Structure formats: structure tokens, C-alpha cells
Amino acid sequence: MRIGELAARAGTTTRTLRYYESRGLLPARRGGNGYRTYDEGDLKLLRQIRTLQDFGFDLEETRPFVECLRAGHPEGDSCPASLAVYRRKLAELDSLIGELQAVRAEIGVRLASADEPPPLCELGGREL
């Protein structure tokens, strides 16, 4: 298939595909007519990249998964390098979750403090 068809089937743009090609994530094969040519394996690579990016992986973090697929593994996450990226990402997410929980707790304390009624003044009314 040509670049436009691959882009349409992958739900991306030809510009993105050219960028992936320049980064070495997508093969740069050319037909006899000089046009880029792709196959179903390339579509699988793109779907792997897109899924990982949807999960918050940056483009460079997808490289081990792409290389795993290129090595002939049916899934991109069955190689040691891919598993290492998964482990790093989980540690990163755990850290972010911890930070968010701390922020949530602080906001809860501030909300509880702000919700308390103001103290009564000496004359029996509320302070202004």
C-alpha cells in the first residue's frame, strides 16, 4: 500500500508517517516507481506505536516494541527491552499517583479548614 492508504488505515497523517520514518521507526521502502510502499506489518507497527502513545509513552519509548515486532515476535511486548520499558513506565506512574495523592490530601485539608464557620465575636455575632 502507499503512504496515503497506510495513513488512512492507521488513523494518522502522511506527515506523521514520514516523521516516524525519519526516526527509524517505520521502514523506508520504495517501489520501482519511487513511491513509498508499506504492508500489513507496517500497519501493525503503527498500531503498536499509537496504542503506546495513547497510554502516555513518548515516541522513543515505543522503539523497543517496534524492534520486537520487527524481530518477528507476534506481540511487541514480548521482548526483554519492551518489558523494561513497561517496568519504568509503571514506576513513573506510581510516582505520579503518589504525588497526586499528596496534593489531594492537602486540598482536602484546606477545604475542610475553609468550610469551618468563622468564630463568634464577643458581641454574639459573627466576625466579618
**Average pLDDT per consecutive 10 residues, the chain (128 residues; last block may be shorter):** 95 95 92 91 94 94 95 92 96 97 96 80 61
Residue whose grid cell is 468564630: 119
Between CA 120 and CA 83 the distance in angstroms is: 61
The pLDDT value recorded for residue 123 is 66
pTM for the model: 0.76
Between CA 58 and CA 102 the distance in angstroms is: 26
Pull the grid cell for residue 32.
520501482
